[in-house]
Amino acid sequence: MRNVLRHARLVLVGLILALPSYMRAEVSAEQGKQLFKANCARCHYVTDKRFVGPGLAGVQDRWSDEGNLLAWIRNSSDYLKTGDSYATKLFEEYNGSVMPAFQLSDDEIKSILAYIADPGEEAAPATASTDGAAAAEGGQTGGGDNTLLTYILIGVAVVLLILARSLNSVSKALENVRREKAGEEPIQEESINVVGKTVAWMAKNKRITAVIAIVLVGALSYKGFVALNTIGVYEGYQPKQPIAFSHKLHVGQNKIECQYCHSTVEKSRHANIPSANVCMNCHKAVQEGPQYGKNEITKIYAAVGWNPEKNEYFKDYAKMDKEELASFYGSYLGDEKAAAAVEPFIQSNIEWVQIHKLPDHAYFNHAQHVKVGKVECTTCHGEVGEMEEVYQHSPLTMGWCINCHRETEVQYATNGYYERLHQYYKEHKGEYEMREGQAFTVEKIGGLECSKCHY
Ligand code: HEC
Ligand code: HEC
Ligand code: HEC
Ligand code: HEC
Ligand code: HEC
Ligand code: HEC
């Protein structure tokens, strides 16, 4: 009995001593591997093989300063502003394709670098290009595992504490039975009860106890806070799309307005994704692209039933024989691989992968922001006109919404939507008069009320 008790205590003390090391986010190649898979694998190999971005083997030797490398990985666009010649050259070599920004701590990035330095066996993730979307889907900026472990450990510690306590009283009872039989004095409370002793010590050393408690609670809630803030955050999410549609080419180079394709954005809650018919307004004529030739544009034709040889739609396209169509587009393309890629589009819809998605309990309205609030698309979505492939630029967290509502002024004076409000302010001068220089922010019209954003 006594032994069991001693062991339980030892384990307990061991656990408590072990706790802090779990609460520190440590640099580990194992964690780095997870982070790499979630955030980087869709563009990089850990070997020296080039993918969307450079092969990362030996990358630390290419960067003389680790601080610069960390800064680059966290936000390469910002880093480029420093004018660093190596980075600029690299950026140009990769045709100015941008690496998304990451919300990663130094330790997390160091973990990734540790993994890159020693990736073990599966150095060449050959599947990275095909399951890129899946990898990115899990692509929250992580760190949750550690927290989970911490909580589990604390749970175990509490259980053990309770166990030790009851073991204590059981063993005390047994000891007392023995002493009673032997005619000895029953044992005193303090001599055996660790918990009681601890409590007594705590009562005597209130100040030290308070400090320990604050540090413990602080460390835990910081970890919890960080974890909660990163749950479901998909910043940088960039899934592979079925057609290599480039905003950079269409918006940046050909100056097509966002609203030409996302035509509902000023009228309704959601911005629509254009249908293939909208693409066809131009692609009846534009049959080849600068980068992929006919290959990608033919996917649109296969979806809508366009015959690019006769420049007309097939009649009764839905009823045509799929195999015949496959061989038609195959011979039009004259390339087996491209033909195979086009085949799934025949007689079907283009299934774009959704990138931005708020949880169901949150309400966001585009028209309110774009039309009424006059917020630019780029404020929330980044420089889409420079993106070859769209990725999620902003975190889309509640904190992100709220921060902007605290800082951004409502366009009430110049916007017809607020004419009545403006009128009201004029009429109630004095009572409601705006103080000179005071910002009339979204917060002031109720932009921080829970019910505005939650059902
Ligand atoms: C969307 C694609 C993409 C993702 C995701 C991505 N990168 Fe990159 N990365 C690039 C490209 C492209 C470059 C080349 C420079 C440029 O064009 O900006 C690059 C360059 C780099 C470089 C410099 C390489 C060298 O040779 O000096 C490092 C280091 C790097 N990335 C690390 C990472 C890490 C770590 C992650 C994950 C946290 C990551 N990248 C995620 C596309 C990506
Ligand atoms: C020629 C048509 C076209 C134009 C012009 C265009 N887009 Fe798009 N946009 C698309 C298509 C198609 C998709 C879906 C495929 C993709 O994500 O690349 C898309 C996707 C998006 C997405 C991601 C949607 C999601 O799933 O969350 C955003 C954000 C976006 N566009 C913003 C813009 C902005 C901002 C502009 C103007 C600067 C713009 N688009 C101009 C066609 C267009
Ligand atoms: C105030 C920030 C903000 C602005 C400004 C903004 N968006 Fe969005 N956008 C979002 C959010 C948030 C989502 C996710 C909405 C959801 O899941 O309900 C989104 C989603 C989208 C989508 C995916 C479809 C959808 O509606 O869910 C497209 C496409 C898009 N935005 C295009 C645009 C275009 C084009 C503009 C400019 C005309 C624009 N956005 C301006 C925040 C913004
Ligand atoms: C307003 C006209 C217009 C619309 C609408 C339009 N495109 Fe384009 N698209 C172009 C032009 C112009 C080019 C580039 C031709 C060139 O530079 O040789 C192009 C090129 C392309 C390419 C070839 C890329 C390459 O590098 O090979 C693809 C793929 C493409 N568009 C897909 C789409 C899709 C999908 C849609 C509908 C969502 C669409 N486009 C809507 C005008 C348009
Ligand atoms: C870049 C700044 C910005 C961001 C980010 C932003 N908003 Fe807004 N929001 C505004 C502005 C400006 C208005 C005021 C529009 C107007 O004049 O009515 C507004 C208004 C609103 C309103 C109406 C408030 C009212 O009292 O009528 C709701 C609801 C709202 N936003 C939800 C959201 C949600 C949800 C998000 C995050 C997903 C978000 N907003 C992110 C700038 C922003
Ligand atoms: C300006 C818009 C806005 C306002 C105001 C707002 N929220 Fe949110 N809230 C959001 C968005 C957007 C999300 C989803 C964030 C995400 O998925 O990361 C969210 C998420 C949440 C969640 C879930 C957390 C999670 O991790 O999914 C809770 C709980 C919540 N909000 C409570 C509140 C309460 C309580 C208030 C009022 C004090 C409030 N919200 C006000 C936009 C808002």
401-410 tens-digit pLDDT: 999 999 888 8
Cα–Cα distance measured from residue 4 to residue 174, given in angstroms and rounded to the nearest whole number: 14
Measured from the alpha carbon of residue 357, the closest ligand is 3
Q: How far is the CA of 398 from the centre of ligand 6 (A)?
A: 5
358 contact partners, CB below 8 Å, separation of at least 6: 364, 396
Q: How far is the CA of 390 from the centre of ligand 2 (A)?
A: 7
Give percent of the chain with pLDDT exceeding 90: 41
Instruction: Decide whether any atom of ligand 3 lies within 6 Å of the 398 Cβ.
Output: no
Cα–Cα distance measured from residue 141 to residue 11, given in angstroms and rounded to the nearest whole number: 33
Ligand 6 atom with minimal separation from the 358 CA: 17
pLDDT at 166: 60
Q: Please indicate whether residue 40 or residue 322 has the higher confidence score (pLDDT).
A: 322
Write the burial class of residue 419 (CB in 10 Å: 0-12 exposed, 13-18 middle, 19+ buried).
exposed
Read off the pLDDT band of 124 (50, 70, 90): very low
pLDDT at 440: 75
Cα–Cα distance measured from residue 153 to residue 14, given in angstroms and rounded to the nearest whole number: 11
Q: Which two tokens stand for residue 171?
A: 């063993």
Q: Which residue matches tokens 């955030």? A: 39
Q: How far is the CA of 384 from the centre of ligand 5 (A)?
A: 20
pLDDT at 362: 93
Q: How far is the CA of 125 from the centre of ligand 1 (A)?
A: 16
Mean model confidence pLDDT for the chain: 78
pLDDT at 248: 95
Cα–Cα distance measured from residue 392 to residue 355, given in angstroms and rounded to the nearest whole number: 7
> Is-contact 107 122, C-beta < 8 A?
no
Cα–Cα distance measured from residue 127 to residue 28, given in angstroms and rounded to the nearest whole number: 24
Cα–Cα distance measured from residue 380 to residue 374, given in angstroms and rounded to the nearest whole number: 12
> Which segment of 167-171, 209-213, 278-282 scores lowest on mean pLDDT?
167-171
| Mean pLDDT within 131-139 | 34
Q: Return the residue whose CA atom lies nearest to atom 24 of ligand 5.
A: 447
pLDDT at 140: 34
Instruction: Decide whether any atom of ligand 4 lies within 6 Å of the 283 Cβ.
Output: yes
Ligand 2 atom with minimal separation from the 354 CA: 26
Reply yes or no on whether the pLDDT at 304 is more than 60.
yes
